Amino acid sequence: MLSGEIPDTIGSLQQLTHLVLNHNNLSRNIPASLGKCYKLQLLDLSNNQLSGLIPQEVASLANLQFYFNLSRNFLEGSLPMEIGKMIHVQAIDFSVNRLEGTIPATLESCEQLEYLNLFSNELQGPIPSSLSGLKTLVSMDLSFNNLSGLIPVSLRSLNMLQYLNLSYNNFSGKIREVGIFKNLTAASFMGNTFLCGEWIQLPSCSVLNTQPKDHTNRTKILAAVGGTIGFLFVCLLILGLIYRRHKVNSDAHSDILPLKLMDDKGISYQEIVKATDGFKEKNLLGTGSFGSVYKGIMDDGKIAAFKLLNLQNEEARKSFSKECKVLAEVRHRNLVKIISFCLEFGHKVLVLDFMSNGNLDTLLYSKDNLLTFREILNIAIDVIHGLEYLHQDCFLQVVHCDIKPSNILLDDYMTAYVADFGIAQIICGSDTSTSESGSTSTLALKGSMGYIAPEYGFGGKVSRRGDIYSYGIMLLEIVTRKSLTDHMFVGGLNLHKWVNMHFDNKLDEIVDTSVMKEIGEYGVNQCLIPFLLVGLECSKEYPSERPSAREVVGVLKTIRGTLLEAHENL
């Protein structure tokens, strides 16, 4: 949550070797004095609001050897020629900025460079043929720029290169089936009107005029491919988050779009079939209208959950795109982590961390695994930490829209993770802001009955307070173990009203018996009652009366402190 500018005095830290300031709200220029930190080996200023030029002094840090990441800012101007002095750097990521000018030929001096990402800028001119000297290069993404000219044939000699993306530029000429080009698909070159090569499913060179007439028609090209680009662009945005080496298996007969997330790689459908043992029923974790989820073991031994999309369901397709975007942009210890995905013709699969203790809904109503009050409290704190990040701390501000026990997953240590972002909405500013799409209506919102905030039923706007309502209902449910589908909830009676009716003198009639026995009278007064009050406050009818996620975090942590201090009395 750091804001303001990076101070010039940072240049005094001349023994500094690692500087990571990513995912903050830092603004203004990168101080040139940072170049005095000559021992820096790793520099990450990504996902901020930094503007201005990349200082020559910073680009001259010759001892950088791990990664240099300035992605997702508002940096302008040209790439400094001095960048060639970083002869030891392994990864450079300047993606999603406003950089212009040409790619400096001095990059060839970065002899140990493995990863180069310049995606989504305004770079112009040709690819320097000197880049063929980067013999250690594993991945290069130059997509969504204004680069032009012929693609240097000399790039074919980059034997280590496993991922290349030159899409959506103004390149021209023929792609020859030589060297590393033989392992690429059309996805690496799409959106370049004047490229040809029949073998790679590009237009035929015999009928295509390969001389560009107008480099300003890029918008028309994008419009022509419509919805496909919309989805691919979402997935390509994910590439801007990566600064570590990866490996992508290419398949000349598939249209797989690789997703590089941290240490993992894109995955093929064949690998998923192998991991799940042919989608055997014993590996089925659950099914729904959007698809099925299977447990599987990946080649590296990691256990994962494979979420297969039901392609016949229009809402499922929209959900997949939304979940890709949100999970790529958010990163928090209490949000489920996306490992990878597969996008091949006829198959769309999300690969997620596997949670050994399943979901909270199943555990809550299990006769064999009764939750202790301490576990309930820890789960509640984990979930609200995740919501606090989504609502107030995330680079994008996200409303989950479907908080309920079945969307809370639990790992080996009973740590809780918020999952299923298929109907999440990205908002800006206050709770009255419009959603990402510009619409404020929730008429098409598909939450879960009983958890949906009352205002949504009257066409109210998507808001953080809607998530807080769902969270409050969930708190009441997990401490009472009363299902929202219980036959008693008719005629306007709901869980909030039922708890409120019995709150003063009949707690033993509504709170789960095992919880009451566990904590005793002292625990009831000091911990359980305050906990129920949080649930009731969060699920109030009017949004303005509900607390924020940050306020809830403070109250629940106080309750946990009281519980720990009073442990000997319980």
For the annotated catalytic residues, the residue numbers are 402
CA 428/CA 457 separation, integer angstroms: 22
CA 55/CA 146 separation, integer angstroms: 23
Residue with tokens 């590393």: 180
Q: 3-class secondary structure for 372-410? A: CHHHHHHHHHHHHHHHHHHHHHCCCEEECCCCCHHHEEE
CA 108/CA 105 separation, integer angstroms: 6
The C-alpha R_g of the chain, in whole angstroms, comes to: 27
Q: Helix H segments across 142-259?
A: 218-237
CA 186/CA 180 separation, integer angstroms: 14
In this structure, are residues 507 and 535 in contact, taking their beta carbons and an 8 Å threshold? Answer: no
Strand order in the sheet with 347-353: 284-288, 291-297, 303-309, 347-353, 338-344
Q: Is 517 exposed, middle or buried (0-12, 13-18, 19+ CB in 10 A)?
A: exposed
Closest CA to 133 of 163, 108, 98: 108
CA 376/CA 369 separation, integer angstroms: 12
